[in-house]
Structure 1
Amino acid sequence: MKRYTVLDLATFSDDRGSLTVLDNVLPFPIARTYWIYGAGGQTRGGHRHHVTRQALIAISGTVSVYMDDGIAQATVQLDKPNLCLLVEPKDWHTMTFGENSVLLVVSSHHYDRNDYIDQRYD
């Protein structure tokens, strides 16, 4: 049983390059978008949420995302800009960044520190 969803986003390529589209594929409305960069060799995250859902896309480089939903654990390698990992509120996650990586994060809710759960599953 597959526990984590990775979307293969529509990509259009020709001699001029590639264009990847994030359009009408997320299972939530977008409230917040941000990106993390300059974190090569670092691990960030280490939390889950009460309500926020997220979509993670490594638009440059490689980001390894460790996921734990309290039942199963997995590491998802985001190494192509057309791969989009859905992170549900229950998913405790960390992101480990390769050199020169840029991670785009799309969230279902605006930032609220009270939505964060920093404690791992036992």
Structure 2
Amino acid sequence: MPQFLQLQSFHESKGSLTVLEDNIPFAIKRVFYIYNVDYAVRGNHRHHKTIQAAICIKGSCRISNDNGNSVEHFLLDHPEKCLILYPEDYHWMYDFSEDAILLVLASELYDPKDYIYEPYRAMDSL
């Protein structure tokens, strides 16, 4: 089941600083970010091993998740919000704002064999 984390931030007149240290519940092995998304839906997969942390560091996007038992919908609209996605979480990202930058931290290096593209149920039933 996905979980939201509130990231620790420090705010002052010179700007804000958000910390990603002890609050991410896995060792980070891969970092990537998604941006310049049109109206496309991204993701549409789950994993065998990989845990991910998704943070929309600019703009906003939505992430929906199906863990085989229930479907949940999340709005990432602030750089202090972090959504942890576990391997069983079949997820898809959509409704990106024009300026959105979605940062993703992953527990594993990229391995195409780790991806499962088959949803738990028909996507049009969600």
TM-score by length of 1: 0.95
Which residue does 2:47 correspond to in 1? 49
2:15 matched residue in structure 1: 17
1:15 to 1:101, Cα distance in 2 relative to 1, 3 A: same
Cα distance, 1:111 vs structure 2 = 0.3
- Identical columns (%): 42
Question: CA RMSD, aligned part only?
Answer: 0.9
Residue 41 of structure 1: CA displacement? 2.6
Runs of 5+ consecutive residues of structure 1 not aligned to the other structure: none
Q: For residues 85 and 91 of structure 1, what CA distance do their matches in structure 2 show?
A: 11
2:76 to 75, 78, 81: 78
CA distance in 2: counterparts of 1:9 and 1:32, whole angstroms: 19
- Please identify, of 38-47 and 74-83, the stretch whose mean Cα deviation from structure 2 is larger: 38-47
Q: Which amino acid aligns with 1:18?
A: S
Q: Offset of 1:27 from its aligned partner?
A: 1.4
* Aligned residue number for residue 63 of structure 2: 65
Q: Does structure 1 conserve the Cα–Cα contact (< 8 Å) formed by 2:2 and 2:89?
A: no
| Deviations 1:34-85 (CA, angstroms, capped at 9, x unpaired) | 1011004321000000000000000000010001100011110000000000
Please tell me whether the aligned partners of residues 40 and 101 of structure 1 are also in contact (alpha carbons under 8 angstroms).
no
